[in-house]
């Protein structure tokens, strides 16, 4: 009898729910008509609140104010600020105009700001005056002479901002309706700069259709309705905040809750309790910080039912605590990247805990994923590792003004090559095993840091751990574990880690080096910067 061939690692997301065919502005208007008096936005730091009717009034006023300044369809409008209500107003106002919102990382310094302003050709920049140690206004003035296309700067909360809204409130609403009628869903509406590890970042260009549908279907898989209240401590400048947060909310009539300008564990927990949030977002390091908060027990989190954990792989033990101690029984793991709007795979609310702690779920509705051999491009059999690729409505239009870099990432068949190593099981669930660039080759053995990290998380004294490869003259590469200890625990050493692993982990998977740290190098979105860790490791080890 011939054997049955193993199915290939390909899956497509079927759905009875059709894709949305409208623009972001049209979708918001429909939600406003359906739920005018429901809460739309709560800005906790400033104690301000908007119903959907009030949100629409302010969004339209800002859009008309920008229109009065001559902002045209396709013009680039930048926003450089931490999370605040004005950020959200600007997001929807530019969408109604067809202006392309360029989201600028709040952590950028002057030279990075200058690059983005010029690369995107930003005409108008909306910015905070300052935040923490960043004097945004001073940095803007420093780079302005080198940015000839930048015509105007509007500082949030300044007389210029107030005048912009006041002018819009006096303008003819029909002018905005006429502009909205000129827009098409497939037109670009957002440029997000990916945090490149080498060289300058690339501007992923996304359409109404890309991000509106992604936000909508992420919300659909979380069973969002107008009854939901979403706590969003993740940054708006990134897809996690503005798409999975804001657009998932407004496409369902749910409420957006801003707990703080940037992530603070206590402020996040307080917002969930005070606003009776049903959903909470975060990267694993955020949830770890919340669970470790000294006042955790005094917050009433009983309203929570769901949420999203994404940005980097979630430790199994952390996921179990989020479900057990925070009550997020329907929490979802999402996987994606800026270039795919961002979510490609997601766990479902009825998935088992095992599925939710060991995989990043199945392909999303109306999308395709496959796992390929990076060397040949062929789709590998299920159960074998390879590079994850995705295709569908979510794939970006391209990198802004960089066709060659676009062609390197998106092939002729419109598959986005993620650079992530993955395995697809027989039921279509995908496990991310690391970055192709993170894989460690030790003495000819392919080692996947994720597997070793998951094992080390079982140590009772380890709060968080990251494993990297470092150069070695004998084996080519050796393993190094960066460890964050639980409060009060004695720091681990290479010897104590080796003793813990002995007999339970193959000898070649046991880290040779151990480095105990307070924090890991991270991007603003909470992704661990392993490239920076490897650079620091060379100095630490004297290599």
Please give the Cα distance from 450 to 467 (Å, whole number).
8
Structure tokens at 78: 């930048």
Helices (H) and strands (E) in the chain, counts: 18, 26
Q: Do 106 and 226 reside in the same domain of the chain?
A: yes
Q: Which residues, 6+ apart, have CB-to-CB distance to 13 below 8 Å?
A: 362, 363, 364, 365, 366, 367, 368, 392
**pLDDT at position 456 over 80:** yes
Q: Do 267 and 341 reside in the same domain of the chain?
A: yes
By C-alpha distance, which of 439, 394, 15 is closest to 239?
394
Q: Phi first, then psi: what are they for 163, rounded to 5°?
A: -65, -35
**pLDDT at position 491 over 50:** yes
- Domain presence at residue 299: yes
The pLDDT of residue 313 is 66
By C-alpha distance, which of 151, 119, 157 is closest to 136?
157
Q: What is the DSSP letter of 250?
A: H
Where residue 197 falls among pLDDT bands split at 50, 70, 90? very low
Please give the Cα distance from 296 to 168 (Å, whole number).
44
Highest mean pLDDT among 302-316, 339-353, 496-510, 518-532: 339-353
**pLDDT at position 198 over 50:** no
- Domain presence at residue 370: no
- Domain presence at residue 19: no
Share of the chain above pLDDT 90, in %: 83
Q: Average per-residue pLDDT in the chain?
A: 94
C-beta of residue 66 within 8 angstroms of C-beta of residue 79: no
Where residue 318 falls among pLDDT bands split at 50, 70, 90? confident
Buried b or exposed e, range 342-377, using 16+ CB within 10 angstroms: bbbbbbeeebeeebbbbbbbbbbbbbbbbbbeeeee
Range of the domain at 516: 438-540
Q: Do 183 and 57 reside in the same domain of the chain?
A: yes
By C-alpha distance, which of 322, 419, 431 is closest to 374?
419
Q: Stretch 456-482: mean pLDDT, rounded?
A: 93
Neighbours of 460 (CB within 10 A): 7
- Domain presence at residue 65: yes
Q: Which residues, 6+ apart, have CB-to-CB distance to 414 below 8 Å?
A: 391, 395
Q: Stretch 418-422: mean pLDDT, rounded?
A: 93
Q: Do 356 and 495 reside in the same domain of the chain?
A: no
Q: Do 448 and 335 reside in the same domain of the chain?
A: no
- Domain presence at residue 48: yes
- Domain presence at residue 449: yes
C-beta of residue 102 within 8 angstroms of C-beta of residue 204: no
Q: Which residues, 6+ apart, have CB-to-CB distance to 529 below 8 Å?
A: 197, 520, 521, 522, 523
Q: What is the DSSP letter of 262?
A: S
C-beta of residue 96 within 8 angstroms of C-beta of residue 179: yes
Q: Do 358 and 449 reside in the same domain of the chain?
A: no
Q: Do 405 and 452 reside in the same domain of the chain?
A: no
Where residue 476 falls among pLDDT bands split at 50, 70, 90? confident
Q: In the chain, how many domains are there?
A: 2
The CATH number of the domain where 94 resides is what?
3.40.50.12780
Where residue 416 falls among pLDDT bands split at 50, 70, 90? very high
The CATH number of the domain where 449 resides is what?
3.30.300.30
**pLDDT at position 275 over 70:** yes
Where residue 15 falls among pLDDT bands split at 50, 70, 90? very high
By C-alpha distance, which of 313, 235, 333, 233 is closest to 277?
233
The pLDDT of residue 447 is 82
**Residues 234-262: pLDDT tens digits?**
999 999 999 999 999 999 999 999 999 99
pTM above 0.75, yes or no: yes
Q: Which residues, 6+ apart, have CB-to-CB distance to 358 below 8 Å?
A: 316, 431
Structure tokens at 344: 């490609």
C-beta of residue 156 within 8 angstroms of C-beta of residue 125: no
Q: Do 68 and 140 reside in the same domain of the chain?
A: yes
39-42-47 Cα angle (round to 5): 125
Q: Stretch 391-415: mean pLDDT, rounded?
A: 97
DSSP string, 289-313: HHHT-TTGGGS--TT--EEEE-SSP
Q: Do 128 and 64 reside in the same domain of the chain?
A: yes
- Domain presence at residue 514: yes
Q: Do 189 and 303 reside in the same domain of the chain?
A: yes
Q: What is the DSSP letter of 242?
A: I
Distance of CA 128 to the CA centre of its chain: 21
Q: Do 406 and 489 reside in the same domain of the chain?
A: no
Where residue 525 falls among pLDDT bands split at 50, 70, 90? low
The pLDDT of residue 42 is 99
Q: Do 288 and 404 reside in the same domain of the chain?
A: yes
- Domain presence at residue 18: no
């Amino acid at each position: 009898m011939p054997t049955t061939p193993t199915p290939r690692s390909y899956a497509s997301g079927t759905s009875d729910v059709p894709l949305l065919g409208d623009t972001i502005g049209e979708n918001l208007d429909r939600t406003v008509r359906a739920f005018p008096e429901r809460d739309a936005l709560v800005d906790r730091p400033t104690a301000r609140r908007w119903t959907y009717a009030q949100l629409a009034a302010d969004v339209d006023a800002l859009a008309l104010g920008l229109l009065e300044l001559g902002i045209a369809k396709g013009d680039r409008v930048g926003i450089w600020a931490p999370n605040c209500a004005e950020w959200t107003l600007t997001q929807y106002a530019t969408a109604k105009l067809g202006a392309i919102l360029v989201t600028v990382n709040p952590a950028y310094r002057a030279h990075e700001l200058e690059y983005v302003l010029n690369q995107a050709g930003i005409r108008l920049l909306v910015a905070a005056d300052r935040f923490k140690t960043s004097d945004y206004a001073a940095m803007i003035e420093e780079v302005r002479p080198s940015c000839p296309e930048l015509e105007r700067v509007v500082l949030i909360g300044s007389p210029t901002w107030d005048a912009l809204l006041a002018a819009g409130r006096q303008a003819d609403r029909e002018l905005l309706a006429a502009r909205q009628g000129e827009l098409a869903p497939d037109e670009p509406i957002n440029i997000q700069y990916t945090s490149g590890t080498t060289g300058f970042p690339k501007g992923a260009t996304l359409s109404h259709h890309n991000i509106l549908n992604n936000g909508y279907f992420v919300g659909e898989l979380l069973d969002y309705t107008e009854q939901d209240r979403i706590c969003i401590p993740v940054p708006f400048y990134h897809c996690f905040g503005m798409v999975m947060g804001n657009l998932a909310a407004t496409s369902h009539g749910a409420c957006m809750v801003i707990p703080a300008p940037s992530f603070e564990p206590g402020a996040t927990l307080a917002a969930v309790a005070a606003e009776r949030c049903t959903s909470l977002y975060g990267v694993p390091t955020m949830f770890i910080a919340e669970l470790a908060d000294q006042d955790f027990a005094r917050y009433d989190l009983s309203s929570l039912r769901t949420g999203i954990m994404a940005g980097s792989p979630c430790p199994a033990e952390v996921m179990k605590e989020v479900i057990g101690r925070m009550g997020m029984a329907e929490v979802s793991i999402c996987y994606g990247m800026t270039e795919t709007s961002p979510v490609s795979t997601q766990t479902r609310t009825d998935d088992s805990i095992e599925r939710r702690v060991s995989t990043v779920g199945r392909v999303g509705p109306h999308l395709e994923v496959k796992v390929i051999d990076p060397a040949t491009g062929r789709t590998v059999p299920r159960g074998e590792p390879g590079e994850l690729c995705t295709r569908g409505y979510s794939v970006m239009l391209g990198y802004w003004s960089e066709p060659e870099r676009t062609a390197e990432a998106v092939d002729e068949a419109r598959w986005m090559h993620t650079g992530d190593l993955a395995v697809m099981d027989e039921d279509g669930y995908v496990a991310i095993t690391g970055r192709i660039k993170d894989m460690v080759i030790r003495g000819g053995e392919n080692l996947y840091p994720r597997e070793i990290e998951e094992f080390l998380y079982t140590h009772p004294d380890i709060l968080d751990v990251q494993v990297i490869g470092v150069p070695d003259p004998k084996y080519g590469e050796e393993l190094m574990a960066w460890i964050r200890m639980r409060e009060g625990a004695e720091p681990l050493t290479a010897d104590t880690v080796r003793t813990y692993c002995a007999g339970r982990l193959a000898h070649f998977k046991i880290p040779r080096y151990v480095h105990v740290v307070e924090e890991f190098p991270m991007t603003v979105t909470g992704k661990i910067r392993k490239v920076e860790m490897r650079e620091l490791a060379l100095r630490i080890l004297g290599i």
